[in-house]
Amino acid sequence: MAAFVQGKTDKFLVFSAHYDHIGEMGENVYFPGANDNASGVAMILDLAKYFANLKEKPNYSIAFLFFSAEEIGLIGSKYFCENPLFEMRNIECLINLDMVGSGEKGITIVNGKVFDEEFNKFTEINGNKNYLKKIKARDKAANSDHYFFYKNNVKSFFIYTLGNYKEYHNIYDKSEELPLNEYENLFKLLIDYSNWELKK
């Protein structure tokens, strides 16, 4: 699924998240997938609402992509990269959000060690605003839907939160257990970073 906010140019800022999870095991076992990855989908929807209500068109168009089949090999995002809805070369930056339901220990940015300027901007903004406790950089990794964009020469990041919430790929990853204690601050950080990207 995809949605767009029209910008002034043919360049794109892209946000993505996967909406699939493990599903069911037999007739009685269900995996809710609150953190992985309803939290990322919720963040994308909040970002979409924010940018859809801008009074002026942004410099770039903003795309919001929702992928399926991430859990079985990044199939949805791989398909998109092979059959894009717009020119891949026009993507200025992609931010993929996956498991963002905690955050009391900060966030990790995959590809933060690959794209120094952009990672430094995240840390600069966070240092000025004190949104999150820590921002850690990680090298490239094929562990979420940013990966095939990166392989197609798109500047892309995967952000996940760090905290005490440990439920992962099990039946206890429920919305009522998800703390969401730094959700709002991560949202603010993403808005500030996006505004910097959109001014380039």
Q: What is the pLDDT of residue 28?
A: 82
Which amino acid does the sequence have at 85? Answer: L
* pLDDT mean for each 10 residues of the chain (200 residues): 96 98 84 96 99 96 98 96 98 98 98 98 98 98 98 98 96 95 99 95
Q: What is the pLDDT of residue 27?
A: 81
Q: What is the pLDDT of residue 29?
A: 85
- DSSP for 3-18, written as a single string: EEE--SSS-EEEEEEE
Q: What is the pLDDT of residue 103?
A: 98
Q: What is the pLDDT of residue 118?
A: 98
Q: What is the pLDDT of residue 6?
A: 97
Alpha helix segments (H runs only) across the chain:
39-52, 75-82, 116-129, 147-151, 183-198
Q: Where are the domains of the chain?
A: 2-198
Q: What is the pLDDT of residue 179?
A: 97
Q: What is the dihedral of CA 51, 56, 62, 66, to 10 degrees?
A: 30
Measuring CA to CA, which residue among 16, 183, 187 is closest to residue 101? 183
Q: What is the pLDDT of residue 26?
A: 79
Domain 2-198, classified CATH 3.30.420.40, yes or no: no
